[in-house]
A = this chain, B = another copy of it.
Amino acid sequence: MTHKIAVLPGDGIGPEITEQAVRVLTALDLDLDLQTQPVGGAAYDVHGHPLPPVVLDLAKSSDAILFGAVGDWKYDTLARELRPEQAILGLRKALGLFANLRPAILYPQLANASSLKPEVVAGLNILIIRELTGDIYFGQPRGVREVAEGPFKGERQGFDTMHYAESEVRRIAHVAFQAAQKRSKKLCSVDKSNVLETSQFWREIVIEVAKEYPDVALSHMYIDNAAMQLVRAPKEFDVIVTGNLFGDILSDEAAMLTGSIGMLPSASLNSASQGLYEPSHGSAPDIAGKNLANPLATILSAAMLLRYSLGKAEQADRIESAVQKVLEQGLRTADIHEQGLTRVSTSEMGDAVLKAL
């Protein structure tokens, strides 16, 4: 059976890191149909839109999407709906990619990269599960209006709507409990239920779903406290589940605890196991085209693609082991380079992973 994969390199360093991941996928001797299209700013340049129909159609008809990164200063003056990041929001919504899995793993070989003390982060391995198609990201109504009453009557006001429906919370909770079952059986749900109605509702539903997973220990934490505890003692967390907005913040914070965000992949899945796979880092336009970027997060995203959307766990393991091996060999791109180790370029890192496969 042929698996169709949409390859969307995007902007900045997107193309060069995606290229290495494609080399790795191609080397695995799987029956893959890889189709490449521009996305984000690159698609705007060609089609006048960051997510034109031809790209969206390809994505919809594929088993999985390998995504590079989008964004570049040069698109900053465009209207919001034409900016590169609209492509990623549009893909999430159109494909119903509600479950975002973001591991924050500190590779033992990279322990020094962290800004935290080694004893605080050594062995860190957290999985953040972020709801990705609901919340204030897509809630209507939103916009700018005139205030109707109260002390600011008559003024202009920017506004957005946060909301979660019952089944939206339920399905992400199931994903989270099942992930926790496969790991330490500890799940922490993060909300702001002391202030927000949406959060109080979220917490109620999570507690209901928990009854189906008696083997998982569920805890709850407010977002402000979670942001603190991640700094104080990140290893006390294992699986975290949270909404779209809080997940955006926490998953980036957790990623940065490792100091090596160039190593972290992510998966965004829908209920049919269709998924979008992308590195957790951005498009880094400042180093684009210089063969400097770290391709490992994208290569590890390709491994997640094989595991979650194609059911090829063995090949995913092979990629992950190959990445471990190149780290052990002391090969490092600039972002994670330390004295005494071998500094390599983007493509050299790709070469090394291929060899280690």
Contact = CB atoms under 8 A, between A and B. Distances in A.
Interface string A52-84: 000000000000000000000000000010010
**Interface extent on A, as a size class?**
35 or more
B163 A160 contact: yes
A27 interface: no
Interface string A192-213: 1011111111100000000000
Nearest to A165: B152
A157 interface: yes
Interface in A230-248: 230-233, 245, 248
Q: Count identical subunits in the complex.
A: 2
26 contacts: A83-B194, A89-B195, A116-B231, A136-B196, A142-B196, A142-B197, A156-B201, A157-B163, A157-B164, A157-B201, A158-B163, A158-B198, A158-B201, A159-B163, A160-B161, A160-B198, A161-B162, A162-B162, A224-B249, A227-B250, A227-B253, A228-B253, A228-B255, A230-B253, A231-B256, A231-B257
Contacts of A229: 256
A155 interface: yes
Interface in A156-205: 156-168, 192, 194-202
